[in-house]
């Protein structure tokens, strides 16, 4: 059923492309920092607002145009998450986007095109690191998905404990790697299986399905839909319910659920990097990516 709906809508590659290319022309003012928040850290691409009275940090991604996960951006995300993780007063993390219409467009394709194997390896290590930090976080984590979230953007949201998405039918979410001729690695797959089960994952990954919010809710890829202007406020309210649970019991439980999946990457990091680099530097794959980037450029022009 999910498949039919997804294919009927003919979202997919074209859908992503139009979203990606249209994002440049729609600026949005960045929300004003609220003064009473005590512990904020703002880098160029990440804005973290930590409210010590609630123990909740909000991490806003602002890497124009579409929060593509470049090596630099991934590194900033990791540093910020690690900082919050070490701050025992920070118990909850909400991840959201400060860019219009998009949560994150996923891995930056420019990091995979025409790069040396060494650079590709460094990039992939950063993708792993981001996933490891978020999926194993002791904080309660909520993704406030206020825009489209394909591929790596979807993965990032899947690392969270709870997903709230804007109920805007123009947004999509999914691990759509196959559409680009590339393949979601085993730990992307594991994360999705843990969330929506084996069969939905098999369909979604083989076909590179991008789901509308309604479809994503139905299949279990997100937990809740709310009007677009209520995504963050709902995330905040929901977080207070997560923080009502004793931390140590929640953390042990979370670790028990996720440890086997985390251990699987941990004990295969090097081979996974090698595998990625070998695949992505192939002539045929580079050619696919080149064509994809060319299409992107034409769309923007």
Determine, following the binding rule CB under 8 A, whether residue 88 of this chain makes contact with its own copies: no
Least Cβ distance, residue 26 to its own copies (angstroms): 29
Q: State yes or no: is 283 an active-site residue.
A: no
The pair phi, psi for residue 82, each rounded to 5°, is: -60, -45
Residue 208 and residue 1: Cα distance in Å, rounded? 15
* Cis upstream peptide for 239 (omega within 30°): no
Listing DSSP states for 89-136 in one string gives T--EEEEEE-STTBS--EE-GGGTSS--HHHHHHHHHHHHHHHHHHHT
Number of shown-chain residues binding its own copies (CB under 8 A):
50
Q: Which stretch binds its own copies (CB under 8 A): 72-80, 88-96, 120-128, 250-258?
A: 250-258
Q: State yes or no: is 12 an active-site residue.
A: no
Determine, following the binding rule CB under 8 A, whether residue 34 of this chain makes contact with its own copies: no
Determine, following the binding rule CB under 8 A, whether residue 45 of this chain makes contact with its own copies: no
Q: State yes or no: is 152 an active-site residue.
A: yes
Determine, following the binding rule CB under 8 A, whether residue 178 of this chain makes contact with its own copies: yes
Determine, following the binding rule CB under 8 A, whether residue 230 of this chain makes contact with its own copies: no
Active-site residue among 20, 69, 74, 107? 107
Extract the runs of DSSP E, i.e. beta strands, from the chain.
39-42, 46-51, 56-61, 68-69, 92-97, 106-107, 140-145, 149-150, 162-166, 173-174, 224-226
Active-site residue among 146, 174, 176, 210? 176
DSSP-derived pairing of the beta strands 46-51 and 56-61: antiparallel
**Terminal CA-CA length for the chain:** 36
Determine, following the binding rule CB under 8 A, whether residue 32 of this chain makes contact with its own copies: no
Nearest Cα residue to 81 out of 44, 135, 122: 135
Least Cβ distance, residue 114 to its own copies (angstroms): 20
Determine, following the binding rule CB under 8 A, whether residue 267 of this chain makes contact with its own copies: no
The pair phi, psi for residue 114, each rounded to 5°, is: 65, 25
Q: State yes or no: is 176 an active-site residue.
A: yes
Q: Which residues are catalytic?
A: 107, 152, 176-177
Q: What does the binding site for its own copies look like in residue numbers (CB under 8 A)?
A: 1, 3-4, 7, 161-162, 177-184, 186, 189, 193-199, 201-203, 205-208, 217, 220, 223-224, 238, 241-242, 245-246, 248-250, 252-254, 256-258, 284, 288
């Amino acid at each position: 059923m999910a498949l039919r709906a997804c294919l009927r809508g003919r979202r997919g590659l074209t859908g992503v492309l139009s979203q990606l290319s249209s994002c440049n022309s729609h600026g949005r003012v960045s929300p004003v920092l609220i003064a009473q928040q005590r512990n904020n850290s703002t880098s160029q691409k990440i804005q973290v607002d930590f409210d010590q009275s609630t123990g909740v940090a909000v991490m806003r991604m602002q890497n124009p145009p579409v929060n593509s996960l470049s090596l630099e951006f991934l590194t900033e995300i990791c540093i910020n998450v690690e900082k919050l993780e070490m701050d025992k007063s920070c118990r909850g993390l909400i991840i959201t986007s400060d860019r219009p219409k998009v949560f994150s467009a996923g891995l930056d394709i420019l990091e995979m095109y025409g790069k040396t194997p060494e650079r590709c390896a460094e990039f992939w290590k950063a993708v792993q690191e981001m996933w490891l930090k978020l999926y194993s976080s002791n904080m309660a984590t909520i993704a406030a998905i206020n825009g489209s979230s394909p591929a790596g953007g979807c993965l990032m949201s899947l690392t969270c404990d709870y997903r709230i998405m804007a109920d805007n039918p123009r947004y999509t979410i999914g691990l759509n790697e196959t559409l680009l001729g590339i393949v979601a690695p085993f730990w992307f797959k594991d994360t999705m299986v843990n969330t929506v089960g084996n069969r939905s994952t098999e369909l979604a990954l083989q076909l590179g399905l991008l789901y509308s919010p309604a479809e994503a809710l139905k299949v279990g890829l997100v937990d809740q839909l709310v009007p677009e202007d209520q995504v963050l406020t709902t995330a905040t309210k929901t977080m207070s319910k997560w923080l009502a649970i004793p931390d140590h019991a929640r953390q042990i439980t979370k670790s028990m659920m996720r440890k086997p999946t985390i251990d699987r990457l941990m004990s295969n990091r090097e081979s996974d990097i090698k595998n990625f680099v070998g695949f992505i530097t192939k002539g045929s794959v580079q050619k696919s990516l080149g064509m994809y980037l060319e299409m992107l450029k034409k769309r923007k022009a």
